[in-house]
Amino acid sequence: MKDDPPIDAPFPFPYKGPSRLQMPVLAALSRVVDPEVALSIVDLGLIYGVAIDQGRARVRMTMTSAACPVADVIVDEVEFELEGLLPAECAIEVELCWEPAWTPERMSARARRFMS
């Protein structure tokens, strides 16, 4: 796809886990879209990190606003996308955190280009 990040671009968030799952996890999370702006949560820089080990996948992520009621829907979709990827016995935990605070610098070049 023409919108895929270039091969030498840094991975958009810290990832710990089996390397065979790294790109599929990125693809799965990139399918979760903020409906207001039609940009993925990866492009918006909402994912702080993913760790997969010993039957457990942990995702740390944020939202741009603490007052937004849509957080649960986005967390649901993150879980839905990862469930389709990870084995059924793997527990999925999504942690919503406010520290460090989200800043616009976390957005991908593609997202910034779209919004500018």
Partner 1 sequence: MQMRAPRAQRRATASPLTQVSRVALALLVALSLLAAVAGGMLRAGANWPMLHGSLLLSQAAGAHAALMLSGFLGTVIAIERAVAVKLRWAFAAPVAAGGSSVFMLMGRFEVAALLGVSAALVSVAVHLVVLRRQRAAHTALLLVSSLAWLIGNALFAAGQGAAAALPWWFLLPVLTIAAERLEMTRLTRRHALALPTLLMIVAALLFGATTTSAGFAAPVAGGVLFGAALSALALWFGIFDIARRTLFAHGLARYMAVCLLAGYAWLALAGIAWMGMVLGCPGRDLALHALGLGFIVSMVMGHAPVILPAVARVKLLFGPWFYAPLLALHASLLLRLVGGIGHPELRTLGAELNAAALALFAATVVGSAIAWRAERVSRIR
Give residues in contact with partner 1 (CB under 8 A): 35-38, 44, 55, 64-73, 76, 79-80, 83, 88-92, 98, 101, 104, 107, 111-112, 114-116
> Rounded to the nearest whole angstrom, what is the least distance from the CB of residue 23 to partner 1 in the complex?
23
Chain Cα centroid distance, residue 44: 9
* Closest to partner 1 by CB, 8 or 35: 35
> Rounded to the nearest whole angstrom, what is the least distance from the CB of residue 62 to partner 1 in the complex?
10
Q: Which residues of 9-44 are buried (b: 16+ CB within 10 A; e: fewer)?
A: eeebbebebeeebeeebbebbbebbbeeeebbbbbb
* Closest to partner 1 by CB, 26 or 83: 83
What is the sign, positive or negative, of the torsion defined by CA atoms of 59, 51, 48, 113? negative
> Rounded to the nearest whole angstrom, what is the least distance from the CB of residue 100 to partner 1 in the complex?
12
> Rounded to the nearest whole angstrom, what is the least distance from the CB of residue 93 to partner 1 in the complex?
10
What is the sign, positive or negative, of the torsion defined by CA atoms of 46, 8, 23, 58? negative
